[in-house]
Amino acid sequence: MPAFRIHSPTVGPSSQAGAGQPKSACASSGTALALSGFALALFTTSVAACRPESRERSDREAESRPIDTSKAIMLTAIDYAFDAPEAIPAGWTTFRLVNRGTQLHTAQLVRLEEGHTLSEFLVAYEHAWRTIGPRPKWGKRMGGPGAVEPNGSSNATMYLEPGNYAWYCPMNIEDGVPHVFGKGMARPFVVQPPESPTPKRGPQSTLVIQLSDYAFTLSAPVTAGRHVIKLENVGVEPHELGLIRLAPGRTLEDFRAWARDFQGPPPGQVLGGVNALATGAEAYFEVELTPGNYVLLCFVTAPDGRPHADHGMIQGLRVR
C-alpha cells in the first residue's frame, strides 16, 4: 500500500495503524476506517469532518497518484497572441505550448494576486521594464512552457491554486521590445476550485535541477533518454531554465556569441524548458535528450538590469 508512504516516508504499511492518531468518530470504528483516519490526519489539521468511506478512499487515491503529464492543456502561440482556455480547474496541470508563429515564442505564467487585473499588471510591468525598477510583488511568476521555435512545442507542469492568472510572451529578439508590450501578446485566465479530488503529488522526476543566484545544480549526471526534470528555485531572485541542444560541432561560446545580438539562426535547437519561477516555486518539464551538447541558461533580468546569464547562469551540459 504505497499510498501510506506518500506524505511521510516514515509511515510504512507495517507501522502500527492508528498509533497516536487523533481521535475522531470516523477513525474509531474499525481497522479500515482507522487507516483512513490516519492517512487523512497526515495532511489535514482537523479530522472533525467525517465523510463517507468511499469518498475518503477516492480522495486518498487521487492524492497518492502521481500526475499524468500526457494529459496536457494546449496553448497555441501565433504572431502575436495566445489561444488558451479561459478557465481551468486547480491542481497539478501540464501545459503544452505549440508555436504556430514565425518567431520564437514562449508562455510565461503569472499569478495575479490581491485582485489585480492583467491590464494593471501590464502597466506596472512595462514601467518596471523601462526603468529597470522592481516588478509588482503581486505578479508572481510561476513558470510556463519555455521558448520554442516555429512549429516546435514545449511543456511545463505546475501546481495551480484557484485565482487569477495570465500568460505573456517576453521574447524580444526581433527588435528588443518584448512581445507582451510591443504587440500585446498576453492573455488572462482563471483557475477554479477543482470539482473532484486532484493529485497532490507532482510527476515522478528523473532529474532535479536547483536554480539559485546564479547557478544550476544538477542532482545527477544526465544520460540520454526521456526525462521528467524537476526545477526548484532555491534562490532569492526568480529564475528560469532555457534548454538548447547545440548543433554538431557548435559550442557554448558560439551560443554566447549568438545571444549577444540574436542575429541569424541560433547555433542549435531551442527545446523549451520552464519560464521564470518565483522563489520557492517548483515545476516540471518533460524532454527527450539525445546524446550531445546542450546549453542551460536563465535570461531573467537581475536587479542591475543585466540578464542572469551575464552573472554566470549559463552552462554547458554533455548528455551521454
297 binds Cu ion (CB under 5 A): no
CB 284 within 8 A of CB 203: yes
308 binds Cu ion (CB under 5 A): yes
The smaller minimum CB distance to Cu ion, of residues 69 and 108, is found at 108
DSSP per residue, 146-209: --B-TT-EEEEEEEE-SEEEEEE----TTTSS-HHHHS--EEEEEEEPPSS----B-PPPSEEE
**300, 301, 314, 317: which one contacts Cu ion (CB under 5 A)?**
300
111 binds Cu ion (CB under 5 A): no
Give me the least distance between CB of 310 and Cu ion, in Å please: 10
281 binds Cu ion (CB under 5 A): no
The smaller minimum CB distance to Cu ion, of residues 69 and 233, is found at 233
Give me the least distance between CB of 119 and Cu ion, in Å please: 27
252 binds Cu ion (CB under 5 A): no
Q: How far apart are CA 32 and CA 53, in angstroms?
A: 9
Strands (E) in the chain, as ranges, are 72-78, 81-83, 87-89, 91-99, 108-112, 139-141, 153-160, 163-168, 186-192, 207-212, 215-218, 225-233, 239-246, 268-277, 282-289, 292-297, 314-319
277 binds Cu ion (CB under 5 A): no
Give me the least distance between CB of 165 and Cu ion, in Å please: 21
186 binds Cu ion (CB under 5 A): no
CB 141 within 8 A of CB 280: no
Nearest Cα to Cα of residue 301 among 231, 257, 241, 238: 238
298 binds Cu ion (CB under 5 A): yes
Q: Name the segment binding Cu ion (CB under 5 A); options: 48-56, 183-191, 196-204, 232-240.
A: 232-240
239 binds Cu ion (CB under 5 A): yes
Those residues whose C-beta lies under 8 Å from the C-beta of residue 3, and which sit 6 or more positions away, are 39, 60, 61, 64
The smaller minimum CB distance to Cu ion, of residues 92 and 214, is found at 214
The smaller minimum CB distance to Cu ion, of residues 252 and 300, is found at 300
Backbone phi and psi for residue 212, each to the nearest 5 degrees, phi listed first: -135, 180
The smaller minimum CB distance to Cu ion, of residues 187 and 308, is found at 308
- Interaction residues for Cu ion, span 23-42 (CB under 5 A): none
Give me the least distance between CB of 309 and Cu ion, in Å please: 8
Task: List residues binding Cu ion (CB under 5 A).
Answer: 239, 298, 300, 308, 313
